Amino acid sequence: MRGETKDLNDVTRKSASGSFVQLADGVTHYELNPPLPEGGGLGVRDVVLVHGFSVPYFIYDPTFDFLTQSGFHVLRYDLFGRGFSDRPRARYNLDFFVKQLADLLDALRFTYHPRRGRRLSLVGLSMGGPIASAFAVRYPERVDKLVLIDPIGVKPISFSPMLKAAKIPLVAEAVLGLVGGDALIKGIAGDFFDPSLVGHFIERYKVQMQYKGFLRSILSTLRNNMLGEFMNVYKGLGKIDKRILMFWGRNDNTVPFDHSNILRAALPNVEFHAIENCGHIPHYEKPEEVNPTLLEFLRKE
């Protein structure tokens, strides 16, 4: 694809912070702070951050820094196809992403031990919402709490003409071969309520686009319905005994705010917070409002 000029390998990854681990489906880029105690296991309170459709783990900068400073072990990672994680040739569907999360936690020896007072909380942003929720439904013994931030999956996301074309085989490859990821970059601005935050954000986003396989992975994610409906997952989540916190930007142009009403009905245990004058990523755009509520929820017994 146009603009993808570099291979992801040990040499090019030297420019990245964080760490790397080989999983069954490829290398995953992650950051864990502070490190787990020698011999593995969890600390008393541990949080795993799952990002969304195309922005890699830097989307969690304010959350990661705040929670580590608040005494949590915090893990964030790049989904396959994004950031500095591998771009394997695979079906980028829900099973694929849930498996990556499970494999990563196993590789880093994350284990939930409720009798020892150890707690594992998952935070899922946008597309990370159904990934984290499906993980909790499939592995309820491993998850204590769940935080959803403007999650997708209540109804299919409305596509731009460019993204609609991306679901048509051969057509998308031809179009993206000419325009590269320009459509993705333009769409990012719509995630913000405050336009002053967009420029710096896009410059950081572009870094991953240099590496071969990025747009192919994005296409596979679209074609495997990862921006579709996942109400079956959320209804399953609502049937298990998990404490859930949900944030939603009132001015979200990506996942409409009224989707929150449908999701709240499916999650009877949810604690809900609307963030005013805010777009699709309230934890990033309004951390001063989100972080205190997040901290109170995670610390609550």
User: Region 50-61: what's the mean pLDDT?
Assistant: 97
With a cut of 70, say whether residue 12 has pLDDT above it: yes
With a cut of 50, say whether residue 75 has pLDDT above it: yes
DSSP state of 72: -
Give the pair of three-digit tokens for residue 249.
Answer: 């930007």
Cα distances (angstroms) measured from residue 264 to each of 148, 244, 279: 11, 10, 19
Q: Dump pLDDT digits (tens) for 202-245.
A: 999 999 999 999 999 998 999 999 999 999 999 999 999 899 99
With a cut of 90, say whether residue 271 has pLDDT above it: yes
With a cut of 90, say whether residue 267 has pLDDT above it: yes
Judged by average pLDDT, the poorest of 22-31, 110-119, 132-141, 163-172 is 163-172
CATH superfamily of 12-158+228-299: Alpha/Beta hydrolase fold, catalytic domain (3.40.50.1820)
Cβ(126)–Cβ(79) below 8 Å: no
With a cut of 70, say whether residue 1 has pLDDT above it: no
Handedness of CA 96, 108, 116, 124 (dihedral sign): negative
pLDDT at 157: 87
pLDDT class for 42, splitting at 50, 70, 90?
very low
pLDDT class for 301, splitting at 50, 70, 90?
confident
Per-domain residue ranges of the chain: 12-158+228-299
pLDDT at 265: 96
The DSSP-derived string for 186-217 is HHHHTT-SSGGGHHHHHHHHHGGGGBTTHHHH
pLDDT at 164: 59
Question: Residue 99: which of 113, 75, 80 has the closest Cα?
Answer: 80
Give the pair of three-digit tokens for residue 159.
Answer: 């596509």
Read off φ and ψ for residue 190, nearest 5 degrees: -70, -10
Q: How many CA atoms lie within 13 A of 299 on its CB side?
A: 10
C-alpha to C-alpha distance for 46 and 36, rounded to whole angstroms: 10
